[in-house]
């Protein structure tokens, strides 16, 4: 029996420099894909996977996210007066239960491993998930739900993985595989952003993790890895042997919303997947190209 997973960490302290000036006064996680900010997709995907507690690791200038997950009293009043029931429902659906959302600051940008470590006191001794909102995944059921199902089969740590072209291994955490059935790959090691010439495989980690609390003992050491940062990949790698480690090739499409092209592709893909927008967007694309 695996322990149920109820908590999710969202590392959202990054500056979003690739989207300046759009991200000068708003966090990059508030950039919308169609009609929802990236952070909302991440929270909805987690909720759909059974997550009940949401822990945001934020930084300076990220207040808009806190407002997004709170009541907007004036707006709701106006919508009520105008009898805009649907709009009110959209606002209410977005809201986590009171007391089930928490914010902690990563005071210095020391890496993803450090960001996750900053949330340690909210987790204690239970498994949890980490969601990177930049990786937007179009999937039904959602990627995290697929991962929770895989976790119930194999336990331990489970990450979402994708095969990438070899020349891209230096952008990802890469698995050193011991066995692979085409859906689940078991790893005997992990390397953060290896040079293509030395990468142990081309199976790369996408921003969804189910982790056992043992990872905090490794993160406590604050060891620096690739790029001089405290890497989550290195801490996970050190738990292999104590905790099983699997990569799940999820069903669905992942869009890298940390890049402009990925972000634009995500907008097109999500619009094409919507009944309301599909035909209109198809016409628009035809007209433009
Ligand atoms: C982070 C992780 C990396 C992972 C990637 C997924 O890298 O360090 O292991 O493959 O997210 O998006 P970053 O994109 O923050 O450089």
What's the CATH number where 91 sits? Answer: 3.90.550.10
Q: How many other C-beta atoms are found inside a 10 Å radius of the C-beta of residue 86?
A: 7
> Which among 258, 40, 269 has a CA at the least distance from the CA of 139?
269
Structural domain contains residue 1: no
Which band of pLDDT confidence, cut at 50, 70 and 90, is reported for residue 93?
Answer: confident
Which band of pLDDT confidence, cut at 50, 70 and 90, is reported for residue 15?
Answer: confident
Structural domain contains residue 19: yes
CB 228, CB 113: distance < 8 Å: no
Structural domain contains residue 181: yes
CB 204, CB 172: distance < 8 Å: yes
Structural domain contains residue 229: yes
Of 14, 132, 194, 258, which is best to mutate to test ligand 1, by the most ligand atoms within 8 angstroms of its C-beta?
A: 132
What total number of domains does the chain contain? 1
Q: Give mean pLDDT, residues 168-174.
A: 97
**Distance from the alpha carbon of residue 163 to the mean position of ligand 1, in angstroms:** 14
Structural domain contains residue 2: no
pLDDT at 1: 78
> Which among 258, 259, 248 has a CA at the least distance from the CA of 162?
248
**Distance from the alpha carbon of residue 194 to the mean position of ligand 1, in angstroms:** 12
Which band of pLDDT confidence, cut at 50, 70 and 90, is reported for residue 16?
Answer: confident
Residue list, ligand 1 pocket, CB within 6 Å:
112, 132, 135, 172-173, 192, 204-207, 231-233
Residue 13: HSE in the Cβ half-sphere, 13 Å Cα cutoff: 25
Asked which of 61-65, 139-143, 205-209, 281-285 is least confident by mean pLDDT, the reply is: 61-65
> Residue of the nearest CA to atom 1 in ligand 1?
172
Q: Give mean pLDDT, residues 230-237.
A: 98
CB within 8 A of 289, min separation 6: which ones? Answer: none
CB within 8 A of 219, min separation 6: which ones? Answer: 113, 114, 116, 117, 120, 230, 232, 235
Of 117, 143, 172, 227, which is best to mutate to test ligand 1, by the most ligand atoms within 8 angstroms of its C-beta?
A: 172
Residue 265 CA to residue 157 CA, distance in Å, equals 30
**Distance from the alpha carbon of residue 74 to the mean position of ligand 1, in angstroms:** 39
Q: Which atom of ligand 1 is nearest to the CA of 135?
A: 12
Structural domain contains residue 241: yes
Residue 22 CA to residue 188 CA, distance in Å, equals 41
pLDDT at 124: 86
Residue 25 CA to residue 112 CA, distance in Å, equals 23
CB within 8 A of 180, min separation 6: which ones? Answer: 186, 203
pTM of the predicted structure, to 2 decimals: 0.96
Expressed as residue numbers, the domain containing 157 is 7-288
CB within 8 A of 115, min separation 6: which ones? Answer: 11, 13, 57, 106
Helix axes 73-81, 85-93, angle to 10 degrees: 150
Which band of pLDDT confidence, cut at 50, 70 and 90, is reported for residue 176?
Answer: very high
Residue 169 CA to residue 190 CA, distance in Å, equals 12
**Distance from the alpha carbon of residue 254 to the mean position of ligand 1, in angstroms:** 13
Q: Give mean pLDDT, residues 236-261.
A: 97
């Amino acid at each position: 029996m695996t322990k149920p997973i109820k908590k999710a960490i969202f590392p959202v302290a990054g500056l979003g420099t690739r989207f300046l000036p759009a991200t000068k006064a708003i966090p990059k996680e508030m950039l919308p894909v169609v009609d929802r900010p990236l952070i909302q997709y991440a929270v909805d995907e987690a909720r759909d996977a059974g997550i009940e507690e949401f822990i945001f690791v934020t930084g300076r200038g990220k207040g808009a996210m806190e407002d997004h997950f709170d009541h907007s009293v004036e707006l709701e009043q106006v919508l009520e007066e105008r009898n805009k029931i649907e709009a009110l429902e959209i606002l209410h659906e977005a809201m986590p239960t009171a007391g089930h959302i928490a914010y902690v600051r990563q005071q210095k940008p020391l890496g993803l491993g450090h960001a996750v470590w900053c949330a340690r006191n909210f987790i204690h001794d239970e498994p949890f998930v980490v969601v990177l909102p930049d990786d937007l995944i179009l999937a039904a059921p959602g990627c995290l739900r697929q991962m929770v199902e895989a976790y119930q089969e194999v336990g331990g740590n489970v990450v979402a993985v994708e095969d990438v072209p070899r020349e891209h291994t230096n952008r990802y955490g890469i698995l050193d595989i011991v066995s692979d059935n085409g859906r689940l790959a078991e790893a005997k090691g992990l390397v953060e952003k290896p040079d293509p010439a030395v990468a142990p495989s081309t199976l790369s980690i996408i921003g969804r993790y189910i982790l056992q609390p043992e990872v905090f003992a490794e993160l406590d050491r604050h060891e620096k890895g690739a790029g001089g940062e405290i890497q989550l990949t290195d801490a996970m790698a050190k738990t292999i042997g104590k905790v099983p480690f699997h990569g799940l090739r999820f069903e669905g499409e992942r869009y890298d919303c940390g890049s402009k092209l990925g972000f634009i592709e995500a907008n097109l893909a999500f619009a094409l997947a919507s009944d309301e927008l599909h035909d209109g967007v198809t016409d628009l694309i035809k007209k433009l190209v």
